[in-house]
Chains A and B, each alone.
Chain A
Amino acid sequence: MQVVRVIPCLDVADGRVVKGVNFVDLRDAGDPVELAAVYNEQGADELVFLDIGATHEGRDTTVAMAAAVAEQVFIPFTIGGGIRSVDDARKLLRAGADKVSINSAAVARPELVTEIAEEFGSQCCVVAIDGRRSPGATDSGYEVFVAGGRTGTGQDVVGWASRVAELGAGEILLTSMDRDGTGDGFDHAMTQAVTDVVNVPVIASGGVGSVADLAGGVVKGGADAVLAATIFHFGHASVADAKTALQSAGLTVRPG
């Protein structure tokens, strides 16, 4: 039985949740622990915290944040952003994160995927891939971008996905940079191109404008899990609403 996971994604910097999370009943909308608890109550299956801060001091705060979340919220969570070494990963995992997600650092040095997988197990090594349509630039027509979608790498999204799976990635977080922030729904074709070639779980990301968009990532894209940020943070929809929508599309979810 395949059970689709619903994963809210929170952007953090200096240990605080940023980018306008807007729940009316929160004491402190920037407190990652409080937000994690809210999403847990709504039935979130996992959480992703993306560290968008850039400083070393900020990274240490992220480690402290992971520890604080792990003390209070007992669902799996992933931390991504700025992880460049096995040591960076170790600090976060020891603090209580279940998985780490690497992106640019894996593109720069693919062996990092293997190093993290060998040290801690594939199950905690997520590789995040930011893809854009670049007709003609790559075989599949999708190109890997880094630096928040600003810099093209010339690498093929599909080729890179199958390479990181071979290197030991336990999961792929696939974001369409074309769709991210548009609310137009997932890029189903890119998602399917990746899920067709890898055996590890794939999380579809980028473009969810309403809960009705979620099922497409699974039904059309073949993804195992769906990630969204905006629709949850601004109270447009709860995780429970997301699950109802997935169930209406005939998919199995853990009830909220």
Chain B
Amino acid sequence: MKPDTTNVASEPRLAVLDYGIGNLRSAQKALEYLGAEAQLTADPDVIEQADGVVLPGVGAFGASIEALHRTGLFEAAIEVAERQQPFLGICVGMQMMYEGSDESPETVGLGLLPGRVTWLSESVKRPQMQWNQLSCTDHQLVKGLDGEWVYFVHSLSPDSSDPQVMENAIATANYGGTVVAASASKTQPIYATQFHPEKSAKSGLALLANFIDSCRQEHANSEV
């Protein structure tokens, strides 16, 4: 059941940004389960050395951005993007990668992906707290996930009426309209999922394995 981890020395080293709120450990544990080395950290040196970086998240947008500032990780996240390190945002981590959110209109997001985060349709129960089915493009991050089911807990999502947002969408689900389930920048290794891959059983582990593959390539390049 457990993947072979005997070659762990050659596995990529991932930094999971620890900004001190919520259940950040599940993402770390899922990455470790897949054989990666994953460290919960707020240390800029550890982050800079990492082959890939994960920004997990639960809770509110405003409080989470505030916590990023408090721990020095807002700047660190911008630098991760500037250094072109593979970067994965999860749930509120995804939302923080956008320019802002209607949940806290005054708060400025990381702006690593164009567009804003808006409330889910009023016609459906909020939060969406359930498994839902993905429609995917052929992007590497969502390889093998078309038609698969993943677990969502959220009340807002990137604005699917904004063409800029949809240009980066690589997976969608249907919940009172189109929900952007995963995004990827066209120009940088910046990825994001609205669902929780660390809580989506086999499908979620498959996505994290795809992300680890991107990091592995980065790792191989850096060793050359």
Q: Which residues of A contact B (CB under 8 A)?
A: 1-3, 5, 37, 40, 45, 70-72, 74-76, 93-98, 120-124, 170-171, 199-201, 224-225, 254-255
Contacts and interface: CB of A to CB of B under 8 A. Distances in A.
A3 to B, nearest CB: 5
A141 to B, nearest CB: 26
A199 B125 contact: yes
B217 interface: no
A96 B25 contact: yes
B212 to A, nearest CB: 14
Interface centre among B22, B32, B130 (most CB of A within 10 A): B130
Given A74-B201, A120-B22, A170 B129 contact: yes
Nearest to A72: B33
A108 to B, nearest CB: 25
Given A123-B153, A171-B129, A70 B25 contact: yes
B151 interface: yes
A121 B59 contact: yes
B174 A1 contact: yes
Contact of B58 (A123, A224, A254): A123
A96 B29 contact: yes
Nearest to B175: A1
Interface in B191-224: 196, 198-201, 204-205
B179 to A, nearest CB: 10
B127 A75 contact: no
A94 B175 contact: no
Interface centre among A5, A122, A124, A254 (most CB of B within 10 A): A254
Given A74-B204, A224-B130, A121 B22 contact: yes
A contact face: mostly helix, strand, loop, or mixed: loop
Given A96-B23, A199-B125, A74 B130 contact: no
Nearest to B126: A199
Contacts of B149: 254-255
22 contacts: A1-B132, A1-B175, A2-B130, A5-B131, A40-B201, A70-B25, A71-B33, A74-B199, A74-B204, A74-B205, A75-B199, A75-B200, A75-B201, A96-B25, A98-B23, A120-B58, A123-B127, A124-B22, A124-B23, A124-B58, A199-B126, A200-B125
Contacts of A171: 129
B124 to A, nearest CB: 8
B164 interface: no
A97 B58 CA distance: 12
Contacts of A201: 125, 127, 129
B65 interface: no
Given A72-B33, A76-B199, A121-B59, A170 B25 contact: no
Contacts of B174: 1
Contacts of A122: 127
Nearest to A40: B201
Given A2-B130, A75-B151, A171-B129, A97 B200 contact: no
Contacts of B204: 74
B211 to A, nearest CB: 14
Given A74-B201, A170-B129, A201-B125, A97 B23 contact: yes
Contacts of B153: 76, 123
Interface in B118-157: 124-127, 129-133, 149, 151, 153
A49 to B, nearest CB: 15
Interface in B11-37: 21-23, 25-26, 29-30, 32-33
Contacts of B1: 37
Contact of A120 (B21, B127, B151, B198): B21
Given A76-B199, A96-B29, A122-B127, 9 more contacts: A37-B1, A40-B201, A45-B151, A71-B29, A74-B198, A76-B153, A121-B59, A123-B58, A255-B149
